[in-house]
Amino acid sequence: MNRSDRTDRRRERPTTGGSSSTRWLLLLVVPLGLIGAALAWALAASDPVQAEAPVRALADCAGATVLGLAALPRLSERLSTPWRTVTVLAGVWAAMEFTMLVLEAAEVQGLPVRKLTAPDFGDYLTTVSGGQIGIALLIGTGTVAAYGAFGFRRPEQATPDLVLVFTAVTLTLRPITGHMSQQTLGSVLAAVHALAAAAWFGTLLALALTVRTRGEWAVLLPRYSNWALPLAVTVTVTGVINGLVRIGGLEPFVTTGYGRILLAKTVLLIALLALGWWWRRTWVPIASDHRMDAESSLRRAIAEVLGMAVVFGLAATLAVTA
């Protein structure tokens, strides 16, 4: 290695102060996702909202992040899968799915959670379609967690493509069996919408978790931006179609809880689209020219991720609102 190479490596070495402390802001995804769910609950007013809405928001965020982490090697072959993080988040995702199963079982049985017995829970799992879907979700999330642990122990033998497949299938199980499944092509639209949203959010969060240097942002951010554009368009188009089909007009946007939540989600989505358009004109070209330090790029990524977390909270509550 010559002197210039050593100099370049020193320049690309991440600082130990700002970026590491700033990255902890990603933990705000949890409270902001819950705030989104709480906002949606308030907008629903007297319309019934199932109790598992906040838990579903956290489950969706965890699943999307696992998807994003598994997608990193497809952004660049120089990126490796952070198997430890995949394993932990998949475990959190599985725990959230189990919690939702318990809450759903109690609601179907008409019991408070503390009075739900093992036979009641077993009856829900075996006789109600929601319980059977929940079992499939636990199998999916458990498989991802187990394979993540295998990848951590033997990374040279593991492939992130299997994580991508199992995560994608698991993420679509609830949407394809939800309320839109009763409409023509509703299941397809719901699945595409969920996967596009998860990839848009999860991949940026994965970059914020793993990218350390200005050089990495210069290479990876333009590639992510090229992914984000079609993903954002897909989320918007499928969301508009799903929403209009479900509410059947414009008046329900203000007269029903579902419509008000959908309207709030749409407003925030438009704001995210505007931010994304602005980032493509400013952040992306500057970062790709190595004219922005890693800390500044990280802050912008975190800001967008946190905005998306609120939308995920709204979307999770929307999915369980009558």
The residue whose two tokens read 């965890």 is: 62
User: Please, which residues bridge with residue 49 across strands?
Assistant: 321
pTM over 0.85: yes
Residue 321: strand pairing partners: 49
Q: What is the pLDDT along the chain (322 residues), one digit of tens a residue?
A: 444 334 333 333 433 334 567 889 999 999 999 999 999 999 988 777 788 889 999 999 999 999 999 999 999 888 889 999 999 999 999 999 999 999 999 988 888 888 999 999 999 999 988 899 999 999 999 999 999 999 999 999 999 999 999 999 999 998 887 665 566 667 888 899 999 999 999 999 999 999 999 999 999 999 999 999 999 999 999 988 888 888 877 888 888 888 999 999 999 999 999 999 999 999 999 999 999 999 999 999 999 999 999 999 999 998 887 6
Predicted local distance difference test score (pLDDT) of residue 20:
60
Give pLDDT, residue 5. Answer: 38
Which structure tokens are listed for 64? Answer: 């999307």
| 251: three-class secondary structure by DSSP | coil
Report yes or no: 108 and 128 within 8 Å, Cβ to Cβ. yes
Give the torsion through C-alpha atoms of 60, 65, 70, 72, to 10 deg. Answer: 140
- At 278, list the tokens: 């602005």
**Per-residue tokens: 319:** 């999915």
- Kindly list the distances between the CA atom of residue 39 and the CA atoms of 143, 147, 294, 316, in Å, as whole numbers in the listed order: 33, 36, 33, 11
pLDDT for residue 242: 84
Using CA atoms of 200, 204, 206, 209 in order, give the dihedral in degrees to the nearest 10. Answer: -160
Contact of 199 with 71, CB cutoff 8 Å: yes
Burial 243-265 (b: 16+ CB within 10 A, else e): beebbeeeebbeebbbbbbbbbb
The pLDDT value recorded for residue 78 is 86
Looking at the domain covering 20-319, what would its CATH class be? mainly alpha
Give me the pLDDT at residue 3, please.
40
What are the residue boundaries of the structural domains of the chain, listed by start? 20-319
From the CB of residue 213, how many other CB atoms can be counted at a distance below 10 Å?
Answer: 18
